[in-house]
């Protein structure tokens, strides 16, 4: 005769992913690396922003882990800037998970000296939904929203904008050609996430990038200080 039992699990649905993310983070901590997870809808300008960042950011050794559904086109664009770029082909998956990024980290460790790096930027798959729930081992989340996407996007996809530590409103050079209300975008994000750092940037003209670079520098400093305190 069979007896039915009840087992309390009380475990996060994403427990397995979370455990992997913690493992990745411990690698980054061990190497003194700050990891940033870059997320947005497709076409918000993540790769172009990264290109401008690799060009303009001073004094930090950067590597990129690049998630792309099928191609290495983005990775090839970034490699031209002379930094280590690990491409992860995500197949049909619409986000990076901690296991995929673990593969990227191991490759990074194999091909390069991770202790020489200060910053790893993970460029997530273009998607406003899933990446918000799947941590990859980052210390900070950065969301991009281009001004062509509409002011209401933060209200429709609130989870990502709630989770973000930093929001970049991108493609501001297009503002004269659009009826985009940038103050409204900021107000919509602020009602979901009052403490997020917001920068209006154009990766094309360089406008506003100084604030973003400063935010990165500060995030790396905070992270380094945190590690020294815990050692």
Give least dist CB 13 to other proteins, A. 4
The C-alpha angle with vertex 107 and arms to 48 and 227, in degrees rounded to 5, equals 80
- CA 114 – CA 118 distance, rounded (Å): 9
User: Which tokens sit at 226?
Assistant: 């945190």
Candidates 58, 70, 82, 92: give the one binding other proteins (CB under 8 A): 92
Candidates 82, 194, 229, 231: give the one binding other proteins (CB under 8 A): 194
How many residues touch other proteins under the rule CB under 8 A: the total is 36
Give least dist CB 116 to other proteins, A. 33
Give least dist CB 175 to other proteins, A. 25
Closer to other proteins by Cβ: residue 12 or 184: 12
Q: What is the DSSP string of 107-172?
A: HHHHHS-GGG-SEEEEE--S-SSGGGT---S-SEEEEEEETTS-TTHHHHSHHHHHH-SEEEEE-G
Candidates 156, 184, 210, 226: give the one binding other proteins (CB under 8 A): 156
Q: How far is CA 197 from the centre of its chain?
A: 14
Segment interacting with other proteins (CB under 8 A) among 28-36, 73-81, 114-122, 155-163: 155-163
Residue 37 within binding range of other proteins, rule CB under 8 A: no
Residue 70 within binding range of other proteins, rule CB under 8 A: no
Candidates 51, 72, 133, 186: give the one binding other proteins (CB under 8 A): 133
- CA 58 – CA 70 distance, rounded (Å): 32
Residue in the structure block whose two tokens are 């100084």: 210
Of 145, 140, 134, give the one whose Cα is nearest residue 121. Answer: 140
Segment interacting with other proteins (CB under 8 A) among 22-30, 73-81, 138-146, 154-162: 154-162
Residues that bind other proteins (CB under 8 A): 2-17, 92-95, 97, 129-130, 132-134, 155-156, 158-159, 162, 190-194
């Amino acid at each position: 005769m069979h007896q039915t039992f009840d087992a309390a699990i009380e475990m996060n649905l994403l427990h397995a992913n979370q455990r992997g993310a913690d493992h990745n983070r411990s690698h980054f901590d061990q190497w003194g690396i700050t990891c940033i997870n870059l997320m947005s809808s497709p076409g918000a300008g993540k790769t172009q922003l990264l290109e401008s960042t690799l060009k303009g950011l001073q004094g930090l050794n950067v590597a990129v882990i690049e998630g792309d559904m099928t191609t290495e086109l983005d990775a090839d664009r970034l490699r031209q800037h002379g930094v280590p770029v690990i491409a992860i082909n995500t197949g049909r998956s619409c986000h990076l998970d901690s296991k995929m990024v673990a593969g990227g980290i191991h490759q990074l460790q194999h091909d390069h000296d991770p202790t020489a790096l200060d910053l790893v930027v993970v460029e997530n798959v273009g998607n406003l939904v899933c990446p918000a729930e799947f941590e990859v081992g980052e210390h900070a989340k950065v969301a991009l929203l281009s001004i062509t996407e509409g002011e209401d996007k933060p209200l429709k996809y609130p989870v990502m904008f709630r989770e973000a530590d930093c929001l970049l409103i991108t493609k501001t050079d297009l503002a004269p050609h659009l009826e985009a209300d940038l103050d409204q975008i900021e107000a919509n994000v602020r009602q979901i996430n009052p403490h997020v750092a917001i920068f209006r940037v154009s990766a094309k003209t360089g406008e506003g990038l100084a604030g973003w670079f400063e935010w990165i520098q500060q995030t790396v400093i905070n992270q380094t200080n945190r590690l020294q305190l815990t050692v």
